[in-house]
Amino acid sequence: MIPRHSPRTLDDMRPAGAFVASVLQRVSQAAIPGANLLDLDALAHEMIRESGAISCYVDYHPSFGGSPFGKVICTSVNDAALHGLPHDYTLEHGDLLSLDFAVSLNGWVTDSALSLIVGGTGTTEDQRLIDTCEEALLAGIAAATPGNRLGDISAAIGAVSRAAGYSVNTDFGGHGVGRTMHEDPSIPNDGSAGSGPALKPGMVFAIEPWLMHTTDEIYTDADGWTLRSADGSRSAHVEHTVAITKTGPLVLTART
């Protein structure tokens, strides 16, 4: 069963969404050439301490993780597609960096991700990859309305991705979010329109397209966490926590 929350509860989730957005914004600003991934994690960690939030990542140890994650933000660089474990790496101009961050604040979890090119300029292909992910995210959010079905979100993301010439991995995707980071349902990044449960006000989802340049296959790095593209091509990943309301989707993690 997909949890549904009252309008008051959605209001209670807003501070968590605003905090996650503020951390991603500040860490992305700090992600300049010469910055170390461990310093970015330390910055996010300090912001968590100052806010009284609780990291959803540091003790996270699902079946697919090699050990407890141990850090508070995912930093995926270049061919790292998802779950990038921060390590001693100094960012270079033109690196494609994805940041993924989730916390619990006042008992409610929100989850968001963004991708950027370090230094602001990179290849046309990398920028197109990011732009397509963001377009797919907007399409998925637009489909998150009462009267639609869960498959409409997946289908909207997949249609944008495939139209741009990318293949889609459906092993990892969006999910429900609320009291914990991963709740029902699973939301793959491709699917059939009109399928699945009906979308109703009060449902809250993390919608998260991710794409790789020339493959849809991944493997797990020796660190036990970082998922990399099978052919070494670069990846982008974006995500927002979105509540379904009577008047349409509400993006809880919107950044200014």
Correct CATH for 7-251 of 3.20.20.150, 1.25.40.20, 3.90.230.10, 3.30.950.10: 3.90.230.10
Tokens for 66, please give them. 């090699």
SS3 179: coil
The domain limits of the chain are 7-251
Q: What is the dihedral of CA 215, 219, 220, 221, to 10 degrees?
A: -80
- The pLDDT score that the predictor gives to residue 143 is 98
Buried b (16+ CB within 10 A) or exposed e, 73-91: bbbbbbbbbbbbbbeebeb
pLDDT 10s digit of each residue in the chain, 256 long? 899 999 999 999 999 999 999 999 999 999 999 999 999 999 999 999 999 999 999 999 998 888 999 999 999 999 999 999 999 999 999 999 999 999 999 999 999 999 999 999 889 999 999 999 999 999 999 999 999 999 999 999 999 999 999 999 999 999 999 999 999 999 999 999 999 999 999 999 999 999 999 999 999 999 999 999 999 999 999 999 999 999 999 999 999 8
Q: Are 224 and 239 in contact (CB under 8 A)?
A: no
- Put simply, whether the predicted model's pTM sits higher than 0.95 gets the answer yes
- Measured in degrees and rounded to the nearest 5, phi and psi for residue 124 equal -60, -35
* Among 209, 240, 238, 235, residue whose Cα is nearest residue 129: 235
Q: CA 240, CA 236: separation in Å to the nearest integer?
A: 14
- The pLDDT score that the predictor gives to residue 1 is 85
Q: CA 11, CA 114: separation in Å to the nearest integer?
A: 24
Buried b (16+ CB within 10 A) or exposed e, 30-69: ebeeebebebbbebbbebbeeeebebbbeebeeeebeeeb
SS3 21: helix
- The pLDDT score that the predictor gives to residue 66 is 86
